[in-house]
Amino acid sequence: MSSFTETGLVKKLFDLNQSQQSIQTLSLWLIHHRKHHSIIVKTWLKELQRAPSTKKLTFMYLANDVIQNSKKKGPEFGREYEHVLVKAFKNVAQSSPEPKTINSLNRILGIWGDRGVYEEPKIKEYSTALNGTETIPKVEVNGSEKKRKGDSNANESDPPKKSRTAVGTEKKAKSEVVEVNGKVETHITLSPHQPDGDPPEPEDLIKVILELENSASSDAAVRERIASLKPEVSELAALDKLEDKEAAMKLAADVNDAIKILNDYNARLAVEMDDRKKLTTMLRDFLREQQELQQQAENRLVEYQNKLSKIKEVQKEVRNHMNNLPDLTSLPDVTGGLAPLPSAGDLFNAHHH
């Protein structure tokens, strides 16, 4: 996962398109960097206000995906967006949006209300900013109309019973109902693969690996001390050889020292075991993320290779067209050997003579 910079965020928002993959990929990246939630939401609003009217709905889909899917990680994004959504809805409403854009945003508001993403007073505030009224208008769906509260799933068509059952058990499946690109969907977090945890930053992963270089199992000095312990400290038969109290006290001291060394070393080994389990989890999450990013990069490569191929076709056609155009330098002299027309200076001089 690339590190966070405001410049990088602006670039990603500029490249954002209305495809589900584009929205979910950027949403995943934003949630991963949620410690920067304040600057993320501030930059999102600024770029939304700059975006053309046709792209503003995509920005709202992104915000919806982040708000709903970040809830498992923490409330930061929900709270941060809460303070700017009035400005966002007003900006969209003032950009002369198409009716279908308003309908899509009203469906989002309906979902937020039904799912308790925001409290009712906030939903009314957002609706006022978008529609000029606290009541969310009826939304036309496939030629009919449905009220927001009357349709708990806010879907574009009546879902079959099987779908409703799936939605009803979404908590167990760790899924969310979100609206992406005009469609209300149930999908697992942000991608087809449900990560067990946040993928670590590369520097965090390197730090853990370096720390394990000094782990207990690599401490040769302590292992040597343990190996050099007197056999008597671990053999009950040594008790039969004790001849006096002084020898017994010396053995007891040796046993106590051995117990302390082994207790300390075992505690360090237990910590190392936990650290290695943590590293295993980090590596698994990091590998999963890299595989997803690799797939995205491969898809992007195919996309741009196709674009390059089309551009080369255009280049070839332009060259062919240029080759078929006449060469003006080879055309006959149309002046027929006539003297060139006098310049303005020649006419001026002739007039004064």
Residues of the chain with pLDDT under 50: 140-181, 183-196
pLDDT reported for residue 347 = 67
pLDDT reported for residue 202 = 80
Asked whether 271 and 264 are in contact (CB, 8 A), the reply is no
Q: How far apart are CA 343 and CA 337, in angstroms?
A: 18
pLDDT reported for residue 331 = 64
Half-sphere exposure of 90 (CA within 13 A, CB side): 9
**Widest CA span of the chain, in angstroms?**
147
Q: What is the pLDDT of residues 56-82, one digit of tens each?
A: 999 999 999 999 988 888 889 999 999
pLDDT reported for residue 308 = 93
Q: How do the domains of the chain map onto residue ranges? A: 6-131, 202-323
Q: Report pTM.
A: 0.46
Q: What is the DSSP-derived secondary structure letter of residue 90?
A: H
pLDDT reported for residue 89 = 95
Of 1.10.10.10, 1.25.40.90, 2.60.40.10, 3.40.50.11540, the CATH number of 6-131 is 1.25.40.90
pLDDT reported for residue 336 = 58
End-to-end CA, the chain = 83
pLDDT reported for residue 185 = 45
